[in-house]
Amino acid sequence: MKKLFPVLLLVYSIPALAQTSLKNTVSKKADSLETQIVAWRRDFHEHPELGNHEFRTAGVIAKYLQSLGLEVKTGVATTGVVGILRGGHPGPVIALRSDMDALPITERTDVPFKSTVKTTYMGQEVGVMHACGHDSHMAMLMATAQILASIKSELHGTVKFIFQPAEEGLPPGEKGGAEEMVKEGVLENPKVDVIFGQHIQSYQPVGTIAYRPGGDMAAVNDLQIIVKGRGSHGAYPWSAVDPIVTSAQIINNLQTIVSRNLHITDNPGVVTIGAINGGNRGNVIPESITMLGTVRTFSAADEKLFIERIKQIATKTAEANGAVAEVNIPYSTHYPVTYNNPELVAEMLPTLQTTAGIDHIILRQAETGAEDFSFYEQKVPGIFIHLGGLPKGADPATAPAHHTPNFFIDESGFPLGVKALCDLTLDYMSAHSK
C-alpha cells in the first residue's frame, strides 16, 4: 500500500486540478465579457418594462438563449423565459434565477442610458425605471449562460436559467412572479435540486458578496384598511363620524405592535402605512378613508401575531370612534421569508470565499426588504446572495436607495456576479454528480 499511495494521491488529485482549471477558464471568460454585460444592462435600463409587461425584455433574452443552443420556453407566468442547458455528463439540476421587471418610478439619474419610458399604472401616468437592479441581474445571468454553454461538454449536470417577471409585485387582481412560476412547474421537468440567485445592492461596496444563512429577507404582507364614518361639513364636525381622525389614531396605535407586542430580541418587524386617500376639500369631512401599507416579519409566528393585532387595533379603534374599519391583509401581495438553507450555505461558502476572496465576503444582517425568491426556496434548497454595487470610496449612508429616482450602481462588479453564479454551479455539480 505504501508504494500505491503516491499513485492513489495522483488519481484523486486529477479531478481537483481539472475543476481548478475549469474555474480559471470561467474567470477569464467573465472578465472578457464585462463590456458585453454592461451593454446588455444599459439596453435593459433604457427600455424598462413593468411586471407582466416585459415583452421586449423577454424577447431579447429568449433570442439570445436560443442562439446559445439552449432549450427555451417562453410565456411562463405571462412573460417569463426559461432556458435549459444539459451538460455532457449526468448530474444534479441547478436553477439560476434573475428577475426582469422595472418599477413605476420616473428616473432622475444623469446617465446616457437614462429611461424616458412612461406608461399608465393603476390609472396614473408614471415613469418606468429599473430602480432596483433587475437590469443588471438579467445581464449577468445572460453572461453566465454564455459561459456555461461554452463549456457544456464538461458540465456534470443540467442548468436551468429562470428569467422571472413581476418580482416587484402587481396591482390587485393580477397574478405573477415567482409564485406563479412555481405553480406552472418551473422547478420540474427536469426537477430542480437546488437554486441560486443574487441581488445587487447600491449601499454595499463593489467587489464584495454578502450572505446570510437562515432568514435573510423578510416576509411581506401588504394591507388595505378602509375606515368608514359619516361625512359632514367641516364646520360642523359634531355631525360627523370623522374617518380622518379615526385613521390617524389607527396609524399611531399600529406602531405599538412593534414596540409592545414583538419580541424584538428574537426578530425585527415593521408596520408601515404608506398611502392615505380620502376627501377632496378642506371644509368637507369625507365618508371614508383608505389606507395602504406593508408588514415585514421574519417568522410564521410573528406574521400571525402582526395580522391578528392589525385587525384588532383597526377594528376596535374605529369602533371606539363610532366608525367601522375593514381590514384586508394580505391585500394583493404576500411573500414568505427568504430563507437560505443553512446546510447549503455552509457547503457553498468556501466557493464564495474563493471566488471573491475571503476578505470580500460579508455576513450580513437580516433585511426587512422582501424577495419572492422565497417561493423557490420553499420548494428546494436555495441561496440568495448580495453583490456589491457601491462605488469605491462612496459612503453607504448617502448612497441612493433602491426604489428611488436616483438609484445608481457601479457596473464594475458585474464580472464578480457572473463568476459567483458559475462557480456555485460548477462546485455544486462537482460535489453532487455521481
Query: Catalytic positions, please?
Result: 101, 167
d(CA 151, CA 107): 39
Place of cell 467587489: 207
Q: Is residue 94 exposed (0-12), middle (13-18) or buried (19+ Cβ within 10 Å)?
A: buried
Query: Among 185, 168, 162, which residue's Cα sits nearest to residue 222?
Result: 168
Instruction: Give the Cβ contact number of residue 198 at 10 Å.
Output: 28
Q: Is 397 exposed, middle or buried (0-12, 13-18, 19+ CB in 10 A)?
A: exposed
Say how far apart CA 16 and CA 434 lie, in whole Å: 15
Given a contact cutoff of 8 angstroms between Cβ atoms, the answer to whether 58 and 76 are in contact is: no
User: Per the structure block, which three cell numbers stand in for 149?
Assistant: 454553454
Q: Are 32 and 146 in contact (CB under 8 A)?
A: no
Strands (DSSP E) found in 15-148: 71-76, 80-86, 89-99, 118-121, 124-127
How far apart are the C-alpha atoms of 220 and 298, rounded to whole Å? 9
**Amino acid identity, position 42:** R
Distance CA 181, CA 163 (A): 10
For the CA atoms of 115, 416, 412, 104, the dihedral, rounded to the nearest 10 degrees, stands at 20
φ, ψ of residue 350 to 5 degrees: the values are: -55, -35
Report whether 204 contacts 391 (CB < 8 A): no
